[in-house]
Amino acid sequence: MTSQSMTSSDHTLYDIPVPNDTKIQTEINGTKTVENSVRKKSIPERIPAFGIICALIGVSLFSVASLIVKLLGELHAIEILIIRCAIQFIPYFAITIYKRHSLFGQPGHRLSLGLRCISGTTSLVTLYIAYRMMPLSDATTIYMASPVFTTIFAYLLLKERVTLIQAITGIVNIVGVVIIAKPEFLFGADDNKDDDVKYDKRVIGIILSIVSAISTAYSFINLRKLRTTPVPVVIMWYSLTVVIAGCAILPVLDRWRMPTGSRAWLLLLAIGAAGIGNQLFQTLAFRYESPGPVSVTRSFQIVLAFVWEVSIFHNTVEWTSITGALLITGCVLCTALLKWYNENPEKF
């Protein structure tokens, strides 16, 4: 090839302006190549903060499911949970079969998969029962203290270092839980008789909310070990475990009651759809955004719980609940922002 032809080729490649969405054919050393001048962007690339938006939708759907548990007072909380997870199981089982994923997960990760199913089941069962024993906002706020226990488990099981900020936020989180719980030896007897009658098992609800936070934290630790396991497989087994455990527990605590009326069935279908959507959008959030900023959005769940408490149930929110919620929300945000900074300082 002569120097003149080489110059012509360079001119063809670099100097001619290229219209959008066209293809250029160039000949180099007798070989034709085809290049796309402009690649069409996918939907996640076109929408700013797509991962954060998905996280917010997922958190909102989880909060809606929590609200439905309170609205369906005629059914036991575990029965609602069984129906929700049975509906949730169907699409993820179908996806697992369609994608030809291994039904039992990857070898070497099956113990972690089993522990995630057990801890996740414990978390949802205790949380759903707690919703019936105390205000929705208080149960949700205590449940959101799970990052404290995640830090503890990460230190004990994964040998991760605990920073000074993590230690401080952990202590403040515990203070927030105590303020919400209002133990009598610190706050004296509660003079609000109406709340005493309505939530006569509040102490049990507080304990169950703390158990839910602890089991959620342990579930997150096991999810870290399942990063290479397909998400539909994890959700499929998780949903099935909840159904089996719920069917074993419900006859002991109560009896199965057939839902009556279109309202009950519509709410049950809605909670099933919310469960499916929550898992889907949370998965998309972690796929298109780092865990740090996604974790920040979890605090929005506390805000929604207070909104439902005031607007739907017309309950008066006490100053102790607001103070405790602010402390715990602040700690969740602080922990998530610190994690975000450590993951990607430039983006932060």
Name the strand (E) or helix (H) holding 25. strand 23-28
* Residue-wise pLDDT tens digits, 273-297: 999 998 888 878 877 776 666 767 7
pTM: 0.74
Q: What is the pLDDT of residue 185?
A: 55
What's the CA angle centered on 272, arms 142 and 130, to 5 degrees? 25
Q: What is the pLDDT of residue 24?
A: 41
Q: What is the pLDDT of residue 169?
A: 81
Position of tokens 């096991």? 222
Would you say residue 300 has pLDDT above 80? Answer: yes
Would you say residue 33 has pLDDT above 60? Answer: no
* Residue-wise pLDDT tens digits, 305-323: 988 988 898 888 888 888 8
Would you say residue 263 has pLDDT above 90? Answer: yes
pLDDT cut 70: percent of the chain above it: 79
Domain boundaries, the chain: 3-36, 54-343
* Residue-wise pLDDT tens digits, 204-255: 999 999 999 999 888 878 877 887 888 899 899 999 999 999 999 998 887 8
Letter string b/e over residues 133-147, b meaning 16 or more CB atoms within 10 A of that residue's CB: bbbbbbbbbbbbbbb
Give the pLDDT mean for 25-52. 60
Give the pLDDT mean for 111-133. 92
237 neighbors 113 (Cβ within 8 angstroms): yes
Would you say residue 12 has pLDDT above 80? Answer: no
Of 136 and 154, which is predicted with more confidence? 136
117 neighbors 51 (Cβ within 8 angstroms): no
Q: What is the pLDDT of residue 117?
A: 93
Helix intervals (H) in 254-318: 261-288, 291-297, 300-311
Would you say residue 5 has pLDDT above 80? Answer: no
Q: What is the pLDDT of residue 179?
A: 86
Of 78 and 177, which is predicted with more confidence? 78
